[in-house]
Structure 1
Amino acid sequence: MSSSNIWLDHYPYEVKPTYEYPNQNVAQFLVDTAQRYPARHAAIFFDTSLTYEQLLDSAYRFANYLVDGCRFKAGDRMAIMLPNCPQMLISYFGTLLAGGIVVMTNPLYTEDELTHQLNDSEASYLVTLDLLTEKVLRVQPRTSLRKVVFTSLKEYLPFPKNILYPLKMRKEGIRLKKDYGPKTLPFSNMLWQSTPRAVIYEVNAEEDLALLQYTGGTTGTPKGVMLTHRNLISNTLQSVHWSYGAKPGEEVYLAALPCFHVFGLTVLLNKSVYTGGTLLLIPKFEPDVILETIRKYKPTIFPGAPTMYIALIHHPRIRKYDLSSINICISGSAPLPQEVQEQFEALTGGKLIEGYGLTEASPVTHANNIWEKRKNGTIGIPFPDTEAKVVHPETGEAVQIGEIGELVVKGPQIMKGYWKKPMETAKVLRDGWLFTGDLATMDKEGFFSIVDRKKDMIIAGGFNVYPREVEEVLYAHPAVLEAAVIGVPDAYRGETVKAFIVVQADHQADEQELDRWCRRKLAAYKVPRVYEFRDVLPKTMVGKVLKRALVEQKTQQQSDGG
């Protein structure tokens, strides 16, 4: 990397501009750490702990069952449709140990969304919760799934919660089964019937895929981002070097970010395991649970999304809790308001910094310094071994300092490409540079700021929502003539989804009807929260809806007090 990159002047003394990254399987992280800290808690899940020795034992068992009992081959895809729980860790590392490719799958997906991802990835196996097994079995005939592995949260709950859990589910109208038929396999049986024989598939880290992480596109069509072992290893180590003040074998990570998203996967799961940390696994973000977890286990590192910090700041009993154990917080997924940063730092006494990344970069490319110079309102400076520049969106030529252009990045964490989409890959990967689609500026000290995000994309509560996908669902409703979806400011979620609707002349539809329709076809975070019915929508001369005009009208209404 050239020393002419001006941001290097703001690197802490402890951080080098370049590092070596091992050519190995990502699962080697677990193997090495289990040797260094066998008795250290790798994870704690509602008072049940799992040591590194126990985690590796279970991961070996999972891998050996796949290879010996399922004829699982290197390169086969394993979909993991789990929240943050011990089974997610075991499945992730077990699949990698067996040479498989992990396909992280959002448990909130509808049947249509799940069917698309399974078919596109050609996943052979899927591991999920008993709560979701019947949904998966309904889509299985339309996919290449050979086996569905099911597990239950109660398997790793302490007494008496493991006894009360089925009763609670039954009270909510959910009846859990011990057997879901011949196409399924209990997760617990895989571990009991297998052996903890040491096994790790030797990979070519630069070429072999570790992860297919699905994301939306500007067209609304989800794409599988191909992340190699080297991609994940390098971004994990970049994150470790950036937080140089963290102590190996001592840190406790509050794992509230879902690890089925690449942000949580890298800055929580991979990073914690590499450094011998303890993961406090939270399956669902609930402020009361988070605060009690902080009180009991004293986490030191808390990566999150702005909505998480906002929820805690405004919790009615926040002043009754001691948050002083928290030293490091890295905020991503959405812009971090300065007021939130200042308030949360005042509550904890720790540091809360904003970073930037995208799925195609494993995901982190930029971050503010944790203990050295930072600039509020910026995404900070590029990570070690990461180059970045701002270019003209049309010509690709670098723009002057302070000018707005498209942010492009290059580094070892940049994806191999989009799964089975060479043309889409060629559009965003050029000579090793990833064209992010985000408009940005760089100041004279090398600090970058995002001016605008990818066209039309909405980030609601840390989740990416692509308007085209929502619009297509709305258009499928028989009463909808026209639909346009935009993001509007929301005090808690950052942005929320708003739909503008024109109803067919001979039909009727109200907000409740469209809400029910969308909830049957979309994950909950994609469903519009606000509807506005209109007679017409503003359009260009060729008939394309002018979303910019809708945004401007909304802004004008707000400034007028409407």
Structure 2
Amino acid sequence: MLERPWLDQYPAEIPKTLEIEEIPVQEYLKRTAEEFPEKVAIHFMGKEMNYRHLYESSIKFAAYLQSIGIVKGDRVAIMLPNMPSAVIGYFGVLMAGGVVVQTNPLYTERELEHQMKDSGAKAILALDILYPRVSKVKSKTNLEHIIVTAIKDFLPFPKNLLYPFIQKKQTGIVVTVKPDASNHLLPEILKQPQKKLVEYEYDFNEDLALLQYTGGTTGLPKGVMITHRNLVSNATMCVAWLYKSKPGQEVVLGVLPFFHVYGMTTVMILSVLQAQKMVLIPKFDVDTILKTIDKQRPTLFPGAPTMYIGILNHPDLGKYDLSSIEACISGSAPLPVEVQQKFEKVTGGKLVEGFGLTEASPVTHSNFLWDKQSVSGSIGVPYPETDAAILSLENSEPLPAGEIGELAVIGPQIMKGYWNRPEETEQVLRDGWLLTGDIGYMDEKGYFYIVDRKKDMIIAGGFNIYPREVEEVLYEHPAILEAAVAGIPDPYRGETVKAYIVVKEGSNVTEAELNEFCRKHLAAYKVPRYYDFREELPKTAVGKILRRSLVDEEKAKLNNDEEKHA
């Protein structure tokens, strides 16, 4: 039996147990639209949309999806940055009975093709400038329909007329899509009279709301099966944690991407549940963030350490008023103590570290925002209804406080499993417990600490990068004999990608050539920032490359450099 020492740390305002309401995720939007119809739901680049309009648009989109053949359980992909159509699309897919497949807009054709094949998605809602990429993979997948939307669709006049020219100047891409049987335009769909919507019964515990792709050390990304129960549970936990936030009154800065489960739950779903105003920003840009905070006065700012670091290091930081910020939970990577302290001083708000993973929808732990001092270096304590334990790396037995092992978590937010991968599901789910692959310990008070990762995953700027995937691309280059990829410390991104290369005898390749090659096959954030050409790579007796020893080598180098400069 677990002792749960962390419950003694809870402020009186946070309940130790929660009632999880058994409703599908999309029901939140219906309720909020009924209770707060005129409340602004979304602010986007100068234009606003209230909850009534958001709900009506989502229903219209849902009915249209059904009219083109989407039925309960069908997967529908969304490949968009944070913009109104990402929210309309998300809730519309769920209202139609579909399962959302969140797709990173930075994916290359290769990555997109894998995800569409694996998920079996029948339709995709994509940004206009991504249409050429999507259309190229369509014939190799189950995709039958491409629904296109553009940034200009949701801009105020005259920005909506000027934006295509700005976009052309910035990207050099101009895309014109003519609607036909398989190509559809979202603005046209939303102008049509609403078609009849078929409403389905839902199995709260079993029915999927989301396939969220995450990688692993064993190869290509796999779909995490997330149910309505998982998402509703995690959102309910977030509400309990943010006990000072008031329904209908908060303004949330929506810069965490919705195609990442962290942004999707803590910004989009939580905002809809609590009738908060989402200020959406399509890509992280420090100038834009500072101006937006100054003008829109957000009170909540969930983010990643790179975002807070970028803000604090901006030369014009002092020109902007950031005092509206009241609470920020930082995730995706460790939060440096000096960043936390400086950000709290600049804003007057609270910034604390939390922890989660895609397989947990995603949040499992957090430090307290109010009434308790956050513990430096700790990921905090488990959320209500969430249990955590540290298991022995030798025999998986629970360990006492202070001993290091693998973090395991259990709760109603834990995934159903990996899509079509029963063996990999069995490896990480044991009697409902999720083995996180993170190595850490718990102190006597119930605070948890992460000391390392069992997996070799690299977290750079909040993005998960899987070395195996990058290595496979490198191995396709004709000049490469051996390649290993590892994460090395980076003051801004937390970690960055370094590739260790052994070139075939008689062959030559430059860093610039490899960089160009990788950019054709990998999203930009996965491309190695550094290349180290070597005669040989460290290996085990059976010939397996020792990636960990390369990481240790980098750490030793860093320590030596610090000692020299001390």
User: How does the TM-score come out when normalised to structure 2?
Assistant: 0.97
Structure 1 356/310 Cα, relative in aligned 2: closer, same or farther at 3 Å? same
5 Å matches for 1:39-188?
A: 39-67=38-66, 69-171=67-169, 172-179=171-178, 182-188=181-187
Q: Does 1:445 align with 2:445?
A: yes
* Structure 1 residue 165 displacement after superposition: 1.1
1:197 and 1:39 map into 2 onto residues whose CA distance is 25
Alpha-carbon separation, structure 1, partners of 2:415 and 2:193: 34
Distance 1:89 1:105 in 2: 14
TM superposition shift of 1:98: 1.1
Equivalent residues in 2 for 1:71-470, closer than 5 Å: 71-171=69-169, 172-179=171-178, 182-195=181-194, 200-373=199-372, 374-470=374-470
Asked if the contact 1:57–1:196 (Cα under 8 Å) also holds between the matched residues in 2, the reply is: no
User: How far off is 1:12 after superposition?
Assistant: 1.1
Q: Distance in 2 between matches of 1:553 and 1:350?
A: 39
**SS state at 2:278 partner:** strand
CA distance in 1, matches of 2:10, 2:557: 44
Indicate the SS of the match to 2:219. Answer: coil
Any conservation in 1 of the 2:61–2:189 contact (CA below 8 Å)?
A: yes
Shift of 1:124: 0.3
Q: CA deviation at 1:169?
A: 2.6
Task: Indicate conservation of the 8 Å contact 1:63/1:199, yes or no.
Answer: no
How far apart, CA to CA, are the structure 1 residues paired with 2:196 and 2:37?
16
1:23 maps to amino acid: E
CA distance in 1, matches of 2:466, 2:352: 26
- Contact 1:58 1:196 survives alignment (8 Å): no
1:415 deviation in Å? Answer: 0.3
Question: Which residue number corresponds to residue 545 of structure 2?
Answer: 545
Deviations 1:243-290 (A, max 9, x none): 100011000000010011000000000001100000001000000111
Q: List alignment gaps of at least 5 residues for structure 1.
A: none
CA contact (8 A) 2:131 2:175 kept: no
CA distance in 2, matches of 1:496, 1:438: 19
The question of whether the paired residues in 2 share the 8 Å contact of 1:367 and 1:382 is answered with yes
Relative distance call for 1:460 and 1:271 in structure 2 (3 A) is same
Residue 170 (structure 1) shift: 2.8
Q: How far does the alpha carbon of each residue in 1:475-512 deviate from its partner, in whole angstroms, 9 at most, with x for none?
A: 11000111111111111100000011111111111110
Could you tell me how far 1:190 is from its partner in structure 2? Answer: 1.6
Identity %: 55
Is the 8 Å Cα contact of residues 65 and 194 (structure 1) preserved in structure 2? no
What CA distance in whole angstroms lies between the structure 1 residues aligned with 2:205 and 2:180? 40
Q: Offset of 1:201 from its aligned partner?
A: 3.2
Q: Report the CA distance shift for 1:243/1:198 in structure 2 as closer, same or farther (over 3 A).
A: farther
Distance 1:170 1:554 in 2: 42
The one-letter code sitting in structure 2 at the alignment partner of 1:45 is F
Query: In the aligned structure 2, how far is the partner of 1:71 from the partner of 1:485?
Result: 43
What is the rounded CA distance, in whole Å, between the counterparts of 2:350 and 2:426 in structure 1?
Answer: 39
Normalised by the length of structure 1, the TM-score is 0.98
Q: Quote the offset at 1:181 in angstroms.
A: 5.7
TM-superposed CA distance for 1:199, in Å, is 6.2
Please tell me whether the aligned partners of residues 323 and 349 of structure 2 are also in contact (alpha carbons under 8 angstroms). yes
Residue 482 of structure 2 corresponds to: 482
Cα drift, residue 547 of structure 1? 1.9
Judge conservation of contact 2:64–2:195 (CA < 8 Å) in 1. Answer: no
Structure 1 CA distance for aligned equivalents of residues 33 and 396 of structure 2: 47
Conserved 8 A contact 1:99-1:202 = no
Report the counterpart of residue 509 of structure 1 in structure 2: 509
Distance 2:472 2:82 in 1: 31
How many angstroms does 1:365 deviate by? 0.3
On the 8 A contact 1:440/1:448 being kept in 2, the answer is yes
Counterpart-to-counterpart distance in 2, 1:175 and 1:190? 21
Letter in 2 for 1:151: T
SS at structure 1 position matched to 2:471: helix
Unaligned segments of structure 2, at least 5 residues: none
Shift in Å, 1:114: 0.3
Q: How large is the Cα RMSD of the aligned pairs?
A: 1.3
Which whole-Å deviations, capped at 9, do the CAs of 1:72-104 have from their partners, x for residues lacking one? 100011000011000010010011111110000
Report the 3-state secondary structure (helix = DSSP H, G, I; strand = E; otherwise coil) of the residue aligned with 2:77. strand
Residues 471 and 3 (structure 1), Cα distance of their counterparts in 2 relative to 1, 3 Å cut: closer
Q: Which has the higher mean CA deviation after the structures are superposed, 17-26 or 77-86?
A: 17-26
Tell me, in whole angstroms, the C-alpha distance in 1 between the residues paired with 2:406 and 2:115. Answer: 29
Corresponding residue number in structure 2 for 1:38: 37
What is the rounded CA distance, in whole Å, between the counterparts of 1:552 and 1:410 in structure 2?
32
Q: Distance in 1 between matches of 2:555 and 2:378?
A: 23
Please give the alpha-carbon distance, in whole angstroms, between the structure 2 residues aligned to 1:421 and 1:34. Answer: 38
